[in-house]
Amino acid sequence: MDKIIRSDDEWKELLTQEQFEVARKKGTEPAFTGKYHDCHENGIYKCVCCGTDLFSSKTKFESGTGWPSFWAPVAEENINLIIDTSHFMIRTEVLCARCDAHLGHVFDDGPPPTGKRYCMNSASLKFIKD
């Protein structure tokens, strides 16, 4: 997968301010405010920055957290996981493997079969209906 590298000014031209703050500056949208936290349609969630397929509606579940949650990515190679020690916590950050967009975090309290909860920001995603 070819990496996409752009300057902040280039990203600002392509994204809304909220998308830029979340995806490029590692922000977080407030719980229950994102457009996909209560989405129940079938389709694919893509990276808002580069269009890489990230999550399928088939793995989406109601976590009660206020953010769209998934128990698995479309493909492990489409995401990168890194340790995040910000805010006095140790978490695992989820990034788009193609453009390094901040997507959210993954936790070990999800449902079977993986036991994972990929807690994503709607602002980092673009939903394409089947």
Catalytic residue list contains 119: yes
Q: Domain residue spans in the chain? A: 8-129
In the prediction, which pLDDT does 87 show? Answer: 85
The per-residue b/e assignment along 65-85, b for 16 or more CB within 10 angstroms, e otherwise, is eebbbbbebbeeebbeeeebe
Q: What is the mean pLDDT of residues 84-92?
A: 92
In the prediction, which pLDDT does 54 show? Answer: 98
pTM equals: 0.95
Q: What is the mean pLDDT of residues 31-50?
A: 97
Q: What is the mean pLDDT of residues 73-81?
A: 98
Asked if 83 and 93 touch (Cβ cutoff 8 Å), the reply is yes
In the prediction, which pLDDT does 1 show? Answer: 75
Which of the following is catalytic: 49, 50, 99, 119?
119
> For residue 68, is pLDDT > 90?
yes
Superfamily of domain 8-129: Peptide methionine sulfoxide reductase. (2.170.150.20)
When the pLDDT of each residue in the chain is averaged and rounded to a whole number, the result is: 97
In the prediction, which pLDDT does 73 show? Answer: 98
